[in-house]
């Protein structure tokens, strides 16, 4: 650690430190804020907020994994009622803490008072969902309709997301509802192996529903800040279903492609009007991937197909550049 | 780096800081505009989404063009090698031109051309060494790793990308692992790299991106040292398995096990102490990750409890630690202890929380039911990601 002393004595960001001095002498910054800015730039005051959040997330992940492992390894010895009761009690403790410390409901954004609030809520809901799943599997309350427990869990997440104003829990609710319809949106799960056509139809339906929810959130001013979570999940499902149809449906791929290009064009146009870059990006990428099928499907020179794909990419670049300029101007 | 590019980067640093001050409510918009007037930045820096989109489009154009060329020459090795070289030169020249233009720099395109340029160069070299010169595989790998180190290091020096610094460090350490006493070289190389870079983290003469590259190399050096002394890595001969010269495969230094066990405990603590002393969060983050690795290593050798118990206890400990630190900082006078605070300061808290949605949803979403039409009755699943468990 030869460099330790040298490193700790120097300013963290020499450019900002010298700029603060210049701005102060030019009268742009007053002494009060400038002193604080200078402390932060010199690394005399450092925020651990991000590290604390990461630790809490990792802690929740470890805890839920451990509880899952316990249930898997010992559910015969411990007994079904004890396990169901134990997990339920832990979930209740977390949610009781959330209910006690949570701020009153509002249709607008509510900033939680504590950095751990969202993670305690998340842990409580995950444990509750696990408990419901365990009870369903062990006692078979829903019988052949057992996947409906995902609908119950998704609805529970949705209600909690609105009550405690959590975009994270809302994201979890939307993907859980998609899982109920057989669509895996998590990174760690593969496909469900269900009928592809049915999955596509479900994806389209859910995508449109989520997009409608996004529009209504803003229009009715009811949790308007949930818009991007709804809309991004909706676009992922809608465009994903259309791309899947264009790439994998042997009989109807042209119809899927036409629909994809039309929907992507509409989404890109709306994204430009609303100033939403992520929606625009999803539309452009989906349209490009779909159009590649058209280029490589046609008979003829493979080399020409590659060249046309490159030209299509160049056209995409022009569109992206123009769209960015237009969005900046707006 | 070009002096112009360095000046633009410095202005962007100040403007970025002013943006944080305004977002946190410490200055108003007219003040921010005054800061921007004093520190003009001719470059346009789009958001990450636009940069990725630009980079993706540029990469598609280049890769499909190369694909067209490769198909046209019917995969002829000589022609493909020439094509790779040609594309590499074109991409690298384009990167330099784009980086020099304030209208085009920082839009993502230069990053794509730089990565592809170096990539084409290295793939072309690999083909040249293997198919034209017909070198032995070991010789070819060594030369390729040296070339990779130099190419990425030169790219980092010229265009200031921390990502290139990481690739250069990875290539260098892979090359060192192939030499005799590779483990010792990792240890010495790691110490040397970390020591050299630690002195440059705040060097005002360096461009901001070069300072960030120094931080990446410092972490690379620490990780190399840790990998060299980790008990599991030593036991499983992980580094020796990539060595070219391996007369010492199976050879153990006397007392190496005890030293490794001690170092496993000492290195993470030392890195954490360094992070606290220097108040550098990236060192704290590195120390936390290394501590987790050491605990995993310990669990591998000393099975004090079943896995589920370890996970639950670790989860509780991590949550309690985070809560205790937060509470301590929140209740301290001025909400800070030793220069640390739990307040967000000037970071974009809302944006960070929005980004948190992605990992949570990706790892904790339950899996879709496989056999929805009927009920197998053989158990369900619990949680998601690392939490997935059958019962």
Query: Cα–Cα distance between A240 and A175 in angstroms, integer?
Result: 14
Tokens of B105: 């720099």
Q: B202 is in which domain, residue-wise?
A: 160-287
pLDDT at A190: 47
A227 contact partners, CB below 8 Å, separation of at least 6 = A214, A215, A217, A218
pLDDT at A116: 87
User: Is A55 in contact with B361 (Cβ distance < 8 A)?
Assistant: no
pLDDT tens track for B88-133: 999 999 999 999 998 888 889 999 999 999 999 999 999 999 999 9
CA B193 to chain centre: 16
Collect all residues of chain B within an 8 Å Cβ-Cβ radius of residue A303.
68-69, 71-72
Chain B nearest CA to A256, separation (Å): 23
User: Is B375 in contact with A143 (Cβ distance < 8 A)?
Assistant: yes
Instruction: Tell me, yes or no, whether B101 lies in a domain.
Output: no
How many residues make up chain B in this entry? 391
Residue of A199 and B212 predicted with greater confidence: B212
B148 contact partners, CB below 8 Å, separation of at least 6 = B122, B167, B168, B171
Check residue A193 and report its DSSP letter.
-
pLDDT in tens, chain B (391 residues): 889 999 999 999 999 999 999 988 899 999 999 999 999 999 888 889 999 999 999 999 999 999 999 999 887 889 999 999 999 999 999 999 999 998 888 889 999 999 999 999 999 999 999 999 999 999 999 999 999 999 999 999 999 999 999 999 999 999 999 998 899 999 999 999 999 999 999 999 999 999 999 999 999 999 999 999 999 998 888 888 888 765 555 456 667 778 888 888 999 999 999 999 999 999 999 999 999 999 989 888 888 788 888 899 999 999 999 999 999 999 999 899 999 999 888 877 767 777 777 777 777 777 777 654 433 433 344 444 334 444 4
User: Is A277 in contact with B201 (Cβ distance < 8 A)?
Assistant: no
Residue of B361 and A220 predicted with greater confidence: A220
Closest by alpha carbon to A154, among B361, B372, B378? Answer: B361
Query: Cα–Cα distance between B124 and B105 in angstroms, integer?
Result: 27
Chain B nearest CA to A188, separation (Å): 6
- In what helix (H) or strand (E) does residue A86 lie, and over which residues does it extend? helix A80-101
User: Is B342 in contact with A60 (Cβ distance < 8 A)?
Assistant: no
The dihedrals phi and psi of B133, each to the nearest 5 degrees, come to -80, -20
Query: Would you place residue A188 in the very low, low, confident or very high pLDDT band (cuts 50, 70, 90)?
Result: very low
Query: Cα–Cα distance between A34 and A23 in angstroms, integer?
Result: 9
What residue in A sits closest to B389 (Cα-Cα)? Answer: A68
Query: Cα–Cα distance between A157 and A177 in angstroms, integer?
Result: 10
Collect all residues of chain B within an 8 Å Cβ-Cβ radius of residue A307.
64-65, 68
Give the best residue of A91, A188, A191 to mutate against chain B (max B CB count within 10 A). A188
User: Is A182 in contact with B53 (Cβ distance < 8 A)?
Assistant: no
Instruction: Tell me, yes or no, whether B252 lies in a domain.
Output: yes
User: Residue A40 pLDDT more than 80?
Assistant: yes
How many residues make up chain A in this entry? 330
Collect all residues of chain A within an 8 Å Cβ-Cβ radius of residue B35.
19, 23, 28
CA angle A322, A325, A330 (to 5 degrees): 125
Per DSSP, chain A holds a count of helices (H) and strands (E) of 13, 1
Cα dihedral angle (B278, B281, B287, B292), rounded to 10 degrees?
160
Give the residue carrying structure tokens 């896995």.
Answer: B307
Strands ordered across the beta sheet of B336-337: A46-47, B340-341, B336-337
pLDDT tens track for B19-53: 999 988 899 999 999 999 999 999 888 889 999 99
The mean pLDDT value for A235-263 works out to: 93
Using CA atoms, how far residue A244 sits from A25, A180, A232, A289, A293, in Å, is 60, 19, 17, 10, 11
CA A74 to chain centre: 34
pLDDT tens track for B282-293: 999 999 999 999
Q: A296: number of CA atoms within 13 Å, CB side?
A: 14
pTM of the predicted structure, to 2 decimals = 0.87
pLDDT at B306: 85
User: What is the secondary structure of B342-381 as a DSSP string?
Assistant: SS-TTS-HHHHHHHHHHHHHHHHSPPPPS-TTS---S--E
Instruction: Tell me, yes or no, whether B219 lies in a domain.
Output: yes
User: Residue A17 pLDDT more than 90?
Assistant: yes
pLDDT at B359: 78
User: Is A28 in contact with B277 (Cβ distance < 8 A)?
Assistant: no
Chain A nearest CA to B186, separation (Å): 16
Closest by alpha carbon to B227, among B183, B261, B266? Answer: B183
pLDDT at B307: 86
Chain B nearest CA to A251, separation (Å): 26
Instruction: Tell me, yes or no, whether B173 lies in a domain.
Output: yes
CA A124 to chain centre: 19
What residue in B sits closest to A142 (Cα-Cα)? Answer: B375
pLDDT at B375: 37
Instruction: Tell me, yes or no, whether B171 lies in a domain.
Output: yes
Tokens of B99: 């980086």
Beta strands in chain B (DSSP E): 336-337, 340-341, 381-382, 389-390
Instruction: Tell me, yes or no, whether B154 lies in a domain.
Output: no
pLDDT at B284: 94
A81 contact partners, CB below 8 Å, separation of at least 6 = none
Collect all residues of chain A within an 8 Å Cβ-Cβ radius of residue B344.
47, 49
Domain count, chain B: 1
pLDDT tens track for A124-178: 999 999 888 888 878 877 777 777 888 999 999 999 999 999 999 999 999 999 9
Instruction: Tell me, yes or no, whether B172 lies in a domain.
Output: yes
């Amino acid at each position: 650690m030869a460099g330790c002393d040298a490193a700790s004595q120097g300013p963290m960001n020499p450019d900002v430190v010298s700029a603060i001095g210049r701005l102060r002498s030019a009268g742009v910054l007053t002494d009060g804020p400038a002193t604080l800015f200078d402390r932060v730039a010199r690394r005399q005051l450092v925020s651990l907020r991000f590290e604390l959040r990461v630790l809490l997330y990792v802690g929740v992940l470890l805890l839920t994994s451990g509880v899952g492992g316990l249930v898997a390894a010992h559910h015969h010895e411990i007994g079904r009622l004890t396990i169901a009761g134990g997990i339920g009690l832990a979930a209740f403790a977390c949610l009781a803490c959330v209910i006690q410390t949570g701020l009153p409901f509002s249709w607008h954004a509510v900033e939680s008072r504590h950095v751990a609030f969202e993670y305690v809520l998340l842990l409580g809901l995950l444990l509750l969902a696990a408990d419901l799943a365990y009870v369903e599997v062990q006692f078979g309350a829903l019988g052949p309709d057992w996947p409906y427990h995902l609908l119950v869990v998704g609805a529970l997440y949705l209600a909690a997301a609105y009550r405690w104003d959590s975009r994270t829990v809302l994201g979890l609710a939307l993907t859980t509802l998609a899982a109920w319809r057989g669509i895996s949106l998590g990174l760690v799960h593969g496909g469900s192996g269900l009928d592809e056509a049915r999955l596509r139809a479900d994806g389209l339906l859910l995508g449109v529903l989520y997009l409608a929810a996004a529009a209504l959130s803003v229009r009715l001013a009811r949790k308007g800040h949930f818009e991007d979570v709804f809309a991004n999940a909706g676009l992922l499902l809608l465009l994903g279903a259309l791309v899947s149809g264009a790439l994998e449906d042997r009989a109807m791929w042209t119809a899927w492609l036409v629909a994809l290009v039309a929907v992507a064009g509409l989404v890109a146009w709306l994204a430009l009007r609303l100033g939403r870059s992520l929606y625009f990006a999803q539309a452009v990428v989906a349209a490009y991937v779909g159009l590649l099928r058209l280029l490589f499907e046609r008979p003829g020179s493979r080399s020409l197909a590659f060249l046309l794909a490159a030209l299509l990419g160049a056209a995409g670049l022009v569109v992206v550049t123009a769209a960015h300029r237009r969005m900046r101007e707006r | 780096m070009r002096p112009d590019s360095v000046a633009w980067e410095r202005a962007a640093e100040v403007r970025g800081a002013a943006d944080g001050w305004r977002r946190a409510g410490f200055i108003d918009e007219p003040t921010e505009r005054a800061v921007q007037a004093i520190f003009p930045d001719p470059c346009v820096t789009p958001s990450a989404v636009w940069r990725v989109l630009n980079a993706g489009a540029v990469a598609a154009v280049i890769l499909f063009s190369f694909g067209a060329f490769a198909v046209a020459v019917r995969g002829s090795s000589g022609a493909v090698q020439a094509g790779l070289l040609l594309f590499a030169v074109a991409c690298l020249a384009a990167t330099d031109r784009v980086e020099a233009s304030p209208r085009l720099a920082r839009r993502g395109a230069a990053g794509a051309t730089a990565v592809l340029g170096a990539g084409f160069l290295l793939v072309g070299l690999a083909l040249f060494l293997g198919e034209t010169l017909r070198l032995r595989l070991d010789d070819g790998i060594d030369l390729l790793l040296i070339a990779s180190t130099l190419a990425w290091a030169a790219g980092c020096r010229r265009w200031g990308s921390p990502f290139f610094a990481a690739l250069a460090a990875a290539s260098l350490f892979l090359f060192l692992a192939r030499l005799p006493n590779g483990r010792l070289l990792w240890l010495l190389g790691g110490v040397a790299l970390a020591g050299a870079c630690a002195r440059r983290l705040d060097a005002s003469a360096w461009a901001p991106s070069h300072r960030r590259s120094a931080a990446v190399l410092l972490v690379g050096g620490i990780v190399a040292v840790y990998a060299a002394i980790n008990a599991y890595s030593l036991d499983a001969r992980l580094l020796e398995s990539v060595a070219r010269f391996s007369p010492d495969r199976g050879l153990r230094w006397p007392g190496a096990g005890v030293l490794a066990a001690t170092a496993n405990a000492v290195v993470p603590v030392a890195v954490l102490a360094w992070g606290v002393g220097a108040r550098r969060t990236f060192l704290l983050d590195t120390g936390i990750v290394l501590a987790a690795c050491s605990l995993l290593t310990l669990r591998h050798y000393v099975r004090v409890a079943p896995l589920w118990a370890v996970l639950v206890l670790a989860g509780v400990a991590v949550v309690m630690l985070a809560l205790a630190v937060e509470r301590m900082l929140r209740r301290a006078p001025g909400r800070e202890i030793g220069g640390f605070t739990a307040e967000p300061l000037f970071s974009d808290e809302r944006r960070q929380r929005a980004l948190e949605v992605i990992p949570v949803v990706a790892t904790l979403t339950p899996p879709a039911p496989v056999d929805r039409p009927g009920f197998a009755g053989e158990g369900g699943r619990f949680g998601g990601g690392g939490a997935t468990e059958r019962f």
